[in-house]
């Protein structure tokens, strides 16, 4: 069978960065995307690039991920408005301070360059903070990017690298036999290797090659305000990970933190839960009082996939030769560009710089063994 | 009493719906952001065909009186910011004078009217330039003139209504500049004759304008406005039927410009609730798919009035009444035979009114040549300051629909959330992607109006926030 060396299904940050690395490695690559590049989670997320809010086991990966975002402009000639602002994570009660202390101690040990700071010091670092925190942690490496620019940026980079881009092409079936035939309404694409990078839609893609990814989907909420006078210059978070707050250069405030809405991969992320929006806004206001004078213009939702151990799903698909999967990365926007490299190196037959997250750890993904 | 239907929008469609549903025996709650109960009814009406006096004022008075005497729980000065499905129907959240309000109702009628379209031209954001609908409000509600010497421009029946309104209050109209040609008006006459009363009124307006010696320029468009802090001159040029300038421009001295290029149906609520929409330029653009009674593709959700496709105030009132009856029928309080008997005359009247309104809507349809002529440096999205050039650049770089264009350029991300620019942006991208359907419509999300942060957050005690448990570490 002739065709591409690798077909990437899904044009989010995972698919795009995998495709780029494969192309740089000499492969002929196509990205096949249902809608348009960067219109899934990678284009609607809060854009927080924070080491502090990463699970300890993922910290080394997140450090590399942020390095990639930082150098995106020089390496790829594309711009996603990366900003290194430094970030504060706040605890408002004694109980939260305990959680903050435990988590940040663990993450510091894992390599996050953070320090614990008093309320007074936190307010020196960020004068826009309220007096409400009882304890904070600060990491100078934290920052953000504008996720809305992801699609545009990677489109440019992929085209430059010679990757074929097929947008508006939902994959409806995948046929096997000496490679893969990927069927879409825009035509059938043929390739020797297959990379599934379908984000929240991974389960459906898995079924097309006969595997059941153990995925659940979360529906995250983000809100944005009108432009307001600059009130904060750092990104601000919460001990429980329930707040991400930043003020863009244009003065708008972006408020996230993983509060849930309703939706699913079939219907999309469709229903805002008003009480959750209100909870999210209250938490943000408790941290930054200047928000009171803002106006809220939009609340939106995005879909994110998770597996039961909340660790990434990055590696070969068990039982299906030459098929790979990449997804389910908590804080995946931050880590994505590095994960893409790791998976691409695996596909290229190179030793990845850090261990990948082998999907074979899930029993449900071992059909051969079960039937043997 | 548990409400049977929530009506959003207190224009003729919303009031018609509320009254007929209430009369049929449903408990009705009506929300509108305008302040005075019924006071706005036939006042501004982004509804096009209303006038300031005569028959409309009479209809307005009658509706207000009926509403006051009815069982409808009419809640004005409420900004509805959220609608969503609830276990037993729909949840509506509003912010009003007394703070936050939540209501659930088994059925919902969206009668949210329109936004005025303005196709940008150099100088369109200069102080002294305002919409025809906004000018109508100013004239009727505040009895204020937009300026001492006003150019009235654009398309549709509001042109003559606004010009006459200015003259009546002793103002000066420098010119009436109409995108439509004399032939277009002639072609619309038979349909307009379906409402002889409205046609006669329109003819009367034109006569008044002529008597006042105001120049009326048919098939002309405003191509630029001069002035920094205030309009000083308006440049107009002849155009072809598509609105594309086709000859040299001339200058009219003026200190203000009232302009509108048609009306865009407000479809945010049905779209948030997942109702199917379709594109029909002759009815205003993107409209909610609905049957003759306003029932959408989502059970329990109805649309009425211009938001369901531009058809005018008269048709809106009948359409609203029909939607109210349909809601009552579906709720089981109005038997089929009574529904049939009561809806038949309304249906006939609404069809007559819609013939008139439809002719006006076709005339007010977006004119592609006018959009194509927007200059490179002209700002298209005024909230975020995005120019035609930046939009073209993004299209060239591969943006495929309005939502992507928004991500890439910020166009439509500001306080208006594309309500003003979205239609023009769709028209700009359409040729590159194969039409308006492919260009899509900007995803609707709450809040339905920009809301003060404190109105949403309210007052709270931190320890009562009920934070969800932290994710695994
Ligand atoms: C609202 C929200 C806020 C977030 N905030 C942050 C944050 O602040 N910081 C952070 O680090 N992380 C954040 N995340 C997580 C992060 O966004 C994701 O982990 C990351 O973007 C996932 O990238 P992806 O490429 O796997 O998925 P996606 O970006 O969703 O890409 C998957 C792509 O696959 C396509 N696709 C799916 N099925 C098919 C098919 N059958 N055929 C063709 N194409 C298909 C989709 O259209 C989509 O474009 C957030 C997530 C959400 C949802």
The predicted-structure confidence for B80-89, as pLDDT tens digits, reads as follows 999 999 988 9
CATH number of the domain that residue A18 is part of: 3.50.50.60
Distance, in Å, from the CA atom of A222 to the CA atom of A243, rounded to the nearest integer, reads: 10
Report the pLDDT value the prediction gives residue B35, as an integer from 0 to 100. 79
Task: Name the residue among A43, A151, A281 with its Cβ closest to that of B453.
Answer: A281
The predicted-structure confidence for B430-464, as pLDDT tens digits, reads as follows 999 999 999 999 999 999 999 999 999 999 999 98
Tell whether the model's pLDDT for residue A75 goes beyond 90.
no
Tell whether the model's pLDDT for residue B92 goes beyond 60.
yes
Residue A171 and residue A296 in one domain:
no
The predicted-structure confidence for B406-420, as pLDDT tens digits, reads as follows 999 999 999 999 999
A44 lines ligand 1 (CB under 6 A): yes
Report the pLDDT value the prediction gives residue B50, as an integer from 0 to 100. 44
Choose the weakest-confidence range: B163-167, B190-194, B395-399, B469-473. B469-473
Residue A194 and residue A230 in one domain:
no
Single residue among A291, A306, A321 that ends a domain in this structure: A306
- Dist. CA A7 → ligand 1 center (Å): 18
| Count of Cβ atoms closer than 10 Å to residue A89 Cβ | 30
Tell whether the model's pLDDT for residue B287 goes beyond 80.
yes
Residue A294 and residue A230 in one domain:
yes
pLDDT-based confidence at residue A360 (cuts at 50, 70, 90): very high
**From the alpha carbon of A304, which atom of ligand 1 is closest?**
53
A171 lines ligand 1 (CB under 6 A): yes
Single residue among A306, A324, A352 that ends a domain in this structure: A306
In a domain, A174, yes or no: yes
Q: H or E segment at B223?
A: strand B220-226
Tell whether the model's pLDDT for residue B44 goes beyond 90.
no
A170 lines ligand 1 (CB under 6 A): yes
Residue A243 and residue A255 in one domain:
yes
pLDDT-based confidence at residue B54 (cuts at 50, 70, 90): low
Tell whether the model's pLDDT for residue B47 goes beyond 60.
no
Report the pLDDT value the prediction gives residue A50, as an integer from 0 to 100. 96
Establish if B469 touches chain A: CB-CB under 8 angstroms: yes
Residue A161 and residue A296 in one domain:
no
Residue A179 and residue A110 in one domain:
no
Single residue among A306, A332, A347 that ends a domain in this structure: A306
Cis peptide before B447 (omega within 30 of 0): yes
In a domain, A66, yes or no: no
Choose the weakest-confidence range: A53-57, A261-265, B213-217, B306-310. B306-310
Total domain count for chain A? 2
Tell whether the model's pLDDT for residue A281 goes beyond 50.
yes
Tell whether the model's pLDDT for residue A236 goes beyond 90.
yes
A355 or A370: which leads in pLDDT: A355
CB B139 within 8 A of CB B166: yes
Q: What is the average per-residue pLDDT within B337-358?
A: 93
Q: What domain range is A247 assigned to?
A: 87-140+216-306
Choose the weakest-confidence range: A162-176, A284-298, B132-146. B132-146
Task: Name the residue among A93, A259, A282 with its Cβ closest to that of B457.
Answer: A282
Between the CA of residue B359 and those of B76, B154, B195, B282, what are the distances in Å?
A: 32, 16, 11, 9
Distance, in Å, from the CA atom of A180 to the CA atom of A322, rounded to the nearest integer, reads: 9
Residue A340 and residue A318 in one domain:
yes
For chain B, give the mean pLDDT.
92
Nearest 5°: the CA angle B456, B95, A44 is 45
Residue A205 and residue A332 in one domain:
yes
Tell whether the model's pLDDT for residue B110 goes beyond 80.
yes
In a domain, A228, yes or no: yes
DSSP state of B303: E
* Pairing, β A48-49 against β A143-144: antiparallel
pLDDT-based confidence at residue A178 (cuts at 50, 70, 90): confident
In a domain, A176, yes or no: yes
pLDDT-based confidence at residue A367 (cuts at 50, 70, 90): low
Q: What is the average per-residue pLDDT within B367-377?
A: 97
In a domain, A49, yes or no: no
Report the pLDDT value the prediction gives residue B353, as an integer from 0 to 100. 86
Residue A175 and residue A299 in one domain:
no
Distance, in Å, from the CA atom of A327 to the CA atom of A314, rounded to the nearest integer, reads: 6
The predicted-structure confidence for B28-38, as pLDDT tens digits, reads as follows 999 999 875 44
Q: Nearest residue CA, atom 18 of ligand 1? A: A332
Residue A302 and residue A263 in one domain:
yes
Residue A234 and residue A186 in one domain:
no
- Dist. CA B233 → ligand 1 center (Å): 51
In a domain, A10, yes or no: yes
Residue A266 and residue A296 in one domain:
yes
Report the pLDDT value the prediction gives residue B326, as an integer from 0 to 100. 98
B137 or A326: which leads in pLDDT: A326
Tell whether the model's pLDDT for residue B398 goes beyond 50.
yes
Instruction: For the full predicted model, state whether its pTM sits above 0.90.
Output: yes
């Amino acid at each position: 069978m002739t065709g591409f060396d690798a077909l990437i299904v899904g044009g989010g940050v995972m698919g795009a960065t995998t495709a780029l690395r494969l192309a740089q490695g000499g492969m002929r690559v196509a990205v096949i995307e249902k809608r348009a590049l960067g219109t899934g989670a990678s284009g609607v997320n809060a854009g927080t690039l924070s080491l502090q809010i990463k699970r300890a086991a993922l910290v080394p990966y997140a450090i590399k991920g942020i390095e990639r975002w930082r150098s995106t402009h020089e390496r790829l000639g594309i711009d996603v408005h990366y900003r290194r602002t430094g970030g504060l994570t706040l605890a408002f009660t004694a109980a939260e301070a305990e959680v903050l202390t435990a988590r940040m101690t663990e993450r510091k040990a894992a390599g996050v360059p953070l320090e614990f700071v008093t309320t007074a010091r936190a307010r020196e670092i960020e004068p826009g903070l309220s007096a409400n925190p009882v304890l904070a942690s600060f990491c100078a490496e934290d920052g953000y990017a504008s996720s809305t620019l992801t699609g545009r940026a990677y489109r440019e980079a992929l085209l430059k690298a010679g990757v074929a881009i097929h947008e508006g092409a939902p994959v409806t079936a995948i046929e096997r036999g000496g490679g893969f035939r990927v069927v879409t309404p825009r035509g059938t694409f043929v390739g020797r290797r297959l990379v599934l990078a379908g984000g929240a839609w991974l389960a459906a893609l898995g079924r097309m090659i006969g595997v059941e990814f153990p995925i659940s989907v979360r529906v995250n909420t983000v809100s944005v305000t009108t432009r307001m006078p600059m009130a904060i210059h750092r990104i601000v978070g919460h001990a429980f990970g329930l707040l991400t707050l930043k003020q863009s250069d244009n003065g708008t405030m972006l408020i996230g933190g993983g509060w849930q809405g309703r939706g699913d991969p079939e219907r999309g992320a469709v229903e805002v839960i008003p009480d959750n929006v209100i909870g999210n806004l209250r938490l943000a206001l408790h941290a930054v009082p200047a928000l009171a004078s803002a106006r809220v213009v939009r609340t939106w939702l995005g879909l994110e996939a998770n597996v039961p151990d909340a660790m990434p799903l990055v590696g070969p698909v068990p039982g299906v030769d030459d098929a790979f999967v990449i997804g389910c990365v908590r804080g995946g926007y931050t880590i994505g560009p590095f994960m893409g490299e790791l998976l691409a190196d695996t596909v290229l037959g190179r030793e990845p710089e850090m261990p990948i997250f082998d999907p074979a750890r899930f029993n449900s993904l071992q059909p051969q063994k079960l039937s043997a | 009493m548990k409400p049977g239907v929530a009506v959003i929008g207190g224009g003729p469609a919303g009031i018609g719906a509320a009254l007929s549903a209430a009369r049929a025996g449903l408990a009705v709650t009506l929300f509108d952001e305008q302040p005075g109960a019924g006071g706005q009814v036939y006042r501004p009406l982004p509804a096009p065909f209303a006038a300031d006096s005569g028959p409309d004022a009479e209809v307005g008075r009658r509706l207000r009186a009926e509403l006051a005497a009815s069982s409808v729980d009419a809640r004005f000065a409420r900004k509805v910011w959220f609608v969503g499905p609830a276990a037993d129907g729909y949840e509506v959240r509003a912010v009003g004078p007394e703070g936050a309000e939540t209501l659930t109702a088994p059925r919902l009628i969206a009668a949210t009217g329109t936004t005025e379209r303005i196709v940008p031209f150099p100088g369109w954001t200069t102080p002294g330039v305002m919409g025809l609908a906004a000018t109508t409000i100013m004239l009727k509600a505040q009895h204020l003139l937009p300026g001492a010497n006003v150019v009235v421009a654009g398309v549709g029946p509001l042109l003559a209504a606004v010009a006459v309104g200015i003259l009546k209050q002793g103002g000066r109209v420098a010119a009436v500049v109409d995108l439509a040609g004399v032939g277009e008006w002639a072609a619309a006459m038979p349909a307009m004759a379906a409402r002889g009363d409205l046609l006669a009124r329109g003819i009367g307006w034109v006569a008044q304008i002529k008597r006042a010696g105001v120049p009326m320029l048919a098939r002309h468009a405003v191509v630029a406005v001069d002035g920094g802090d205030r309009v000083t001159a308006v440049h107009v040029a002849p155009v072809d039927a598509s609105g594309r300038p086709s000859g040299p421009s001339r200058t009219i001295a003026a200190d203000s410009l009232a302009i509108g290029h048609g009306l865009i149906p407000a479809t945010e609520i049905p779209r948030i609730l997942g109702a199917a929409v379709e594109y029909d330029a002759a009815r205003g653009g993107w409209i909610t798919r609905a049957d003759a009674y306003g029932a959408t593709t989502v059970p329990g959700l109805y649309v009425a009035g211009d938001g369901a496709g531009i058809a005018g105030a008269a048709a809106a009132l009948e359409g609203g009444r029909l939607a109210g009856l349909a809601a009552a029928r579906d709720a089981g309080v109005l038997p089929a035979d009574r529904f049939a008997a009561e809806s038949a005359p309304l249906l006939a009247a609404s069809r007559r009114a819609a013939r008139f309104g439809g002719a006006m809507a076709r005339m007010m349809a977006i004119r592609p040549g006018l959009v194509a002529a927007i200059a490179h440096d002209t700002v298209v999205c005024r909230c975020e300051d995005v120019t035609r050039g930046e939009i073209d650049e993004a299209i060239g770089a591969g943006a495929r629909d309005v939502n992507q264009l928004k991500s890439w350029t910020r166009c439509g991300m500001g306080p208006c959330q594309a309500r003003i620019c979205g239609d023009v942006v769709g028209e700009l991208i359409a040729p590159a992607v194969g039409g308006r359907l492919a260009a899509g419509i900007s995803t609707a999300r709450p809040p339905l109006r920009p809301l003060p942060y404190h109105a949403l957050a309210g007052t709270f005690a931190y320890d009562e926030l009920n934070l969800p448990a932290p994710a695994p570490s």
